[in-house]
Amino acid sequence: MREMNAETAGLQHSSLGDEIVGRINRLGQISETPEHLARVFLTPEHRAAADLILAWMRDAGLHAHLDAIGNVCGRYEGERPGLPCLMLGSHYDTVRDAGKWDGPLGLITAISCVADLHRRGRRLPFAIEVTGFADEEGVRFASTLLGSRAVAGTFNERVLSSKDSAGISMRDALAAFGLDPDHIGAAARAPSELLAYVELHIEQGPVLEAEHLPVGVVTAIAGATRLAASLTGMAGHAGTVPMLLRRDALTGAAECITTIEELCRTDDGGLIGTVGYIHAMPGATNVIPGQAAFTIDLRAPTDAHRKRAVADIVRQIEAVAKRRKLVLQVDVTHENRTVPCAPWLKAQVADAVAAEGHRVFELPSGAGHDGMAMIDIADVAMLFVRCRGGISHHPDEHVEVADVDIGARVLLRLIESFQPGPRSAKM
């Protein structure tokens, strides 16, 4: 047992990094396959991770439960029960062949910070809630931020009928997980219950490393648009149909993809586009592909720029489809505006960084985060922690324990000095 007095507070803090990294490693072993980390929404491994996080929350002195969409929710009461909360958190789902830090670092750090307060018997003039969002990545159902949208009350019930690649609907997957798809609304929180939402996350880029800084203060989360495109031509015999008479959907998709890449490459305003998934049907060596489906992920520094780029891309791939006599269908599967971090809250994150002895450095987030949904019910801020080589969405993703510890100390300081801002005062 550790001593609970001010003299040993530094010692307690220095152990936070080790505790967090130990748990990151444990959570990183809960995966669809042992070789490639994948913990996708509503799968058995997703459930096993939720159960482990619930246990950690309870150990930390939080009252914890699973909400209606599968978010892991913990609450640490303030000086008296029922006070509005400062919400902390991040997501516990992963991409495929993921790193183990994206999401879990923010969630586990928040739990360890509360555990530290609890060990010291410290209660604050507000409650703290920690949320492990169930789906931020959107790997399974081509629809992202499902957990945080449910909390923000903006979950779109239409996505319940969307199907994964095995043909399982989200409705059935929720039921198999033990949740009631007709009661997602129960996860929604009122703005009056939240004072702010703060997320710690790995940077997922190389900027902090280049600045020789362990942490950075996020200015805004860049907006994103995701599209699902499908081209339909005519399947046929690979040995008999002459090249000029083919309506090959896969070569059409290939031309669309290089068109998208060219458009982004030649854009001087920071447009970024990715085709991360493609599926050709019927999928046999000796059959001309009659159908091809692919995704498009587009991001730009401003919403206006991104919207113009989406329109340009759709126009250009329509032209490719027309020339090749293919039928094109494009659906928007995700659209999120750029979310600015609230100046008053960002200033408190910066103060905590400075108080821990680090240079305050601001940077935007090119990656998406749950704050993009939480902005509908609370002001949002983020603290980035340096990651090695800026590598993310890759098994080599890595954060040094010293940086984990610094991130945790900054978050703890922020929590302990937190002052509600103008938005919460109005509620």
List of residues contacting ligand GLV (CB under 6 A): 137, 367-368
Q: What is the amino acid identity at position 80?
A: R
* Residue 326 binds which entry of Mn ion, ligand GLV, none, CB below 5-8 Å type-dependent: none
| Alpha-carbon 113 to chain mean position | 21
Shortest CB 148 distance to Mn ion, Å: 11
Binding Mn ion (rule: CB under 5 A), the pick from 103, 181, 289, 407 is 103
Pairing of strands 194-202, 380-385: parallel
426 Cβ neighbours under 8 A, 6+ residues apart:
none
Which of 131/291 has CB closer to ligand GLV? 131
Which of 114/372 has CB closer to Mn ion? 372
CA distance 263 to 240: 35
**CA distances for 153 relative to 41, 118, 374, 412, angstroms:** 19, 30, 9, 28
The angle formed by the CA atoms of residues 186, 192 and 196, to the nearest 5 degrees, is 100
Q: Which stretch binds Mn ion (CB under 5 A): 100-108, 118-126, 161-169, 412-420?
A: 100-108
CB-closest chain residue to ligand GLV? 368
Q: Does 370 bind Mn ion (CB under 5 A)?
A: no
Which of 128/145 has CB closer to ligand GLV? 145
Q: Can you say whether the dihedral through the CA atoms of 301, 305, 310, 316 is positive or negative?
A: negative
Q: Which stretch binds Mn ion (CB under 5 A): 12-20, 46-54, 96-104, 267-275?
A: 96-104
CB-closest chain residue to Mn ion? 102
Which of 173/367 has CB closer to ligand GLV? 367
Buried b / exposed e across 345-363, counting CB within 10 Å, b at 16+? bbebbbbbbeebebeebeb
CA distance 356 to 4: 21
The angle formed by the CA atoms of residues 342, 145 and 45, to the nearest 5 degrees, is 130
Shortest CB 98 distance to Mn ion, Å: 7
* Residue 28 binds which entry of ligand GLV, Mn ion, none, CB below 5-8 Å type-dependent: none
Which of 124/298 has CB closer to ligand GLV? 298
Shortest CB 133 distance to ligand GLV, Å: 12
Which of 131/232 has CB closer to Mn ion? 131
Shortest CB 221 distance to ligand GLV, Å: 9
Q: Does 102 bind Mn ion (CB under 5 A)?
A: yes
* Residue 103 binds which entry of Mn ion, ligand GLV, none, CB below 5-8 Å type-dependent: Mn ion
Q: Does 255 bind Mn ion (CB under 5 A)?
A: no
Shortest CB 135 distance to Mn ion, Å: 11
Which of 102/129 has CB closer to Mn ion? 102
Which of 120/393 has CB closer to Mn ion? 393
Q: Which residues of the chain form contacts with Mn ion (CB under 5 A)? A: 102-103
